[in-house]
Amino acid sequence: MKFTLEVDMGDTGWDGDAARELGRILRYWGGNLQHYELKPGDGSALYDSGQREVGAWRITASSGARAQE
């Protein structure tokens, strides 16, 4: 399986506060993942502290080439 987390920091990286916002997003979702089975198809939208959707995480099946590495 493959876990992907993608975040759009916008043109300004939250006005120079990217480390704080990314840290908050990672802490929140790191703690929240326990509520998911973490199987292909699972995922959710990600929101910044202003409750704006800024990305998503998802679980997908591994590609054949990566699974053999």
Q: pLDDT exceeding 70 applies to what percent of the chain?
A: 91
pLDDT at 65 over 60: no
Q: pLDDT band at residue 63, thresholds of 50, 70 and 90?
A: confident
Average confidence score pLDDT of the chain: 90
| pLDDT value, residue 68 | 46
- Dist CA 60 CA 26 (whole Å): 19
3 state DSSP class of 14: helix
CA angle 13, 33, 20 (to 5 degrees): 25
- Dist CA 42 CA 57 (whole Å): 8
